[in-house]
């Protein structure tokens, strides 16, 4: 229980200077009270209702959207993620269009129609899980690009084989062995290279 209660009681406190994550509800309450006493902005959880005469800075970004939870990093922002399925704010502002379903939601849910429930869902969330997980089709784009470059490489290979003539005669074994013999005679790499591997007294490679 200790871990869980530690998690659930982390609360967000907004100050003019930035964000503070208080470690307990008590702390955030006292911070709120203290800040209020000094005429500063402090909010707590879902209780950031107006009435102190101050509007938290994040209101510029989220408007009247209700802050309903911790989200993924404590910031009151919305985002759809299958890793953090419970964003910190509702997707829509509580406008007049939603007021009737919001009120109906407080009563028995069996009286809600499917349309009401869908409306409520889109009030809270932008995308459903299946929409988040829906295939984008971008694999076709990627496959096309990969095949394009593979084709280009293939054409380069065909060009080497068919368009240009055969390799020069210096590529055959006889010429290459002659070149090796010459390098040994010139003592190329006498310290730790080619010639160091050659035994000049016995006339063969060292053991």
Residue 140 binding another protein, by CB under 8 A: no
Give me the phi and psi of 149, to 5 degrees please.
-70, -35
Closest separation in Å from C-beta 133 to another protein: 8
Among 60, 96, 114, 167, interactor with another protein by CB under 8 A: 114
Q: CA 71 to CA 77: how far, in whole Å?
A: 8
Among 58, 98, 125, 198, interactor with another protein by CB under 8 A: 125
Among 70, 78, 98, 198, interactor with another protein by CB under 8 A: 70
Residue 128 binding another protein, by CB under 8 A: yes
From 16-24, 132-140, 173-181, 186-194, give the range in contact with another protein by CB under 8 A: 132-140
Q: CA 95 to CA 90: how far, in whole Å?
A: 12
Among 24, 55, 95, 109, interactor with another protein by CB under 8 A: 109
Closest separation in Å from C-beta 55 to another protein: 21
Element (H, E) at 28: helix 25-37
Closest separation in Å from C-beta 87 to another protein: 9
Name the pairing type of β-strands 198-199 and 204-205: antiparallel
DSSP 93-134: ---HHHHHHHHHHHS-GGG--HHHHHHHHHHH-SS-HHHHTS
Residue 64 binding another protein, by CB under 8 A: no
Residue 133 binding another protein, by CB under 8 A: yes
Largest CA distance in the chain: 104
Among 34, 97, 129, 186, interactor with another protein by CB under 8 A: 129
Element (H, E) at 200: none
Give the C-alpha distances (Å, rounded to integers) separating 67 from 72, 74, 98, 123, 181.
Answer: 13, 10, 16, 13, 83
Give me the phi and psi of 205, to 5 degrees please.
-65, 145
Residue 117 binding another protein, by CB under 8 A: yes
Give me the phi and psi of 153, to 5 degrees please.
-65, -40
Among 30, 34, 64, 84, interactor with another protein by CB under 8 A: 84
Binding residues vs another protein (CB under 8 A): 1, 3-4, 7-11, 45-46, 68-70, 82, 84-86, 105-106, 108-112, 114, 117-118, 120-121, 123-131, 133-134, 136
């Amino acid at each position: 229980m200790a871990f869980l209660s530690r998690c659930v009681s982390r609360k967000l406190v907004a100050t003019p200077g930035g964000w503070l994550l208080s470690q307990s509800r008590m702390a955030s309450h006292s911070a709120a009270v203290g800040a209020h006493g000094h005429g500063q902005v402090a909010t707590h959880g879902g209780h950031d209702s107006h009435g102190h005469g101050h509007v938290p800075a994040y209101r510029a970004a989220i408007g009247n959207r209700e802050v309903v939870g911790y989200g993924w990093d404590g910031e009151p922002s919305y985002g759809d993620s299958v890793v953090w399925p419970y964003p910190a704010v509702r997707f829509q502002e509580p406008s007049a269009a939603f007021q009737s379903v919001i009120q109906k939601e407080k009563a028995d849910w069996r009286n809600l129609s499917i349309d009401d429930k869908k409306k409520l869902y889109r009030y809270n969330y932008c995308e459903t899980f299946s929409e988040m997980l829906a295939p984008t089709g971008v694999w076709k784009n990627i496959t096309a690009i990969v095949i394009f470059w593979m084709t280009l490489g293939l054409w380069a290979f065909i060009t080497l084989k068919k368009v240009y003539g055969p390799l020069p005669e210096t590529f055959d074994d006889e010429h290459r062995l002659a070149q090796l013999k010459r390098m040994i005679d010139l003592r190329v790499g006498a310290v730790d290279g080619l010639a160091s591997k050659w035994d000049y007294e016995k006339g063969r490679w060292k053991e």
